[in-house]
Structure 1
Amino acid sequence: MLFMLIVKASTNSEGGNRPNPELNAAMSKYNEELVEAGVRVMAKGLHPSSNGKRISFPEPGGEPVVTEGPFPEPNNLVAGFILIDVESKEEAVKWAMRMPDPQGYGEGQIELRQVFEF
């Protein structure tokens, strides 16, 4: 079963603030554990929304609209993700609970979502 651990953005990640060396080490260790367990499929961080664009589709059949970042409300944005392949939702939750605070500032939040497999 595929699950995505979605790391929510914060004011710090949106500000382009990099994690401190301790958090970098903790996240590296966590990623190594995922790899050693054979469950990590992919893990990536994202640039702040100030480097992004949002494409919306306001009307059926209408032209898409492009909006330049940054976007408001960092808590509704994504800072990164880890894709894992595990046996159950319970196992996915256990891996999510082991992740260090991804923001390192007490602002960390992870959303766990199962991925459709077609």
Structure 2
Amino acid sequence: MRVMVIVKATTDSEAGKMPTTELLTAMGQYNEELVKAGIMQAGEGLHPSSRGKRVRFSGANRTVIDGPFAETKELIAGFWLWQVKSMEEAVEWVRRCPNPMEGDSEIEIRQIFSAEDFGGEFTPELREQEDRLRAEIEQQTHKPK
């Protein structure tokens, strides 16, 4: 199963406070463990919401909203994409994670939908399209720069 592991934002991360060398080192070692275990597929930190935008949809209308966004506890400071055997395995890996912030912090784990989750609505043509797009993304990702 694939999961997104979401590092929730804090007032420090929203203020743009950068992690210490010690935290970066600890996270680097943790990420190395995840990669060696075949768990980690991607992982990135995010800039504060003050540098972000939201697009609100209302029928055919689109409204662009500039950050920052008010509810820090609802914001994301970073994420990983993991391939795990179960939600329990993901929880065990998160328990081993260094605290991603200097103070209190929270990490959320969410399962990613797979094609099977969509049932009959995900037609063979749509599956073929998704497979083609994934292959194209994979090819683009591995192109020399």
- TM bracket (short chain): over 0.9
> Which structure has the bigger radius of gyration?
2
TM-score (norm 1): 0.93
Question: Hey, what does 2:95 align to over in structure 1?
Answer: 97
Q: How far apart, CA to CA, are the structure 2 residues paired with 1:73 and 1:34?
A: 30
Superposed CA RMSD in Å reads 0.9
Out of 75, 79, 82, which is 1:81 matched to?
79
Higher RCO (CA 8 Å, separation ≥ 6 residues) = 1
2:37 alignment counterpart: 37
Q: How many residues align?
A: 115
Q: What SS does the corresponding residue of 1:64 show, helix, strand or coil?
A: strand
Q: Which residue identity lines up with residue 112 of structure 1 in the other structure?
A: I
- Cα deviation for residue 53 of structure 1 reads 0.4
Q: Which residue of 2 aligns with 1:66?
A: 64
Deviation at 1:89, TM superposition (A): 1.1
Is residue 112 of structure 1 aligned with residue 124 of structure 2?
no
The one-letter amino acid paired with 2:5 is L
In the TM superposition, what is the alpha-carbon distance from 1:62 to its structure 2 partner?
3.4
With structure 2 as the length reference, what TM-score do the two structures score? Answer: 0.76
Whether 2:13 is the aligned partner of 1:16: answer no
% identical aligned pairs: 52
Question: 2:122: which partner in 1?
Answer: none
**Structure 2: runs of 5 or more not aligned:** 116-145
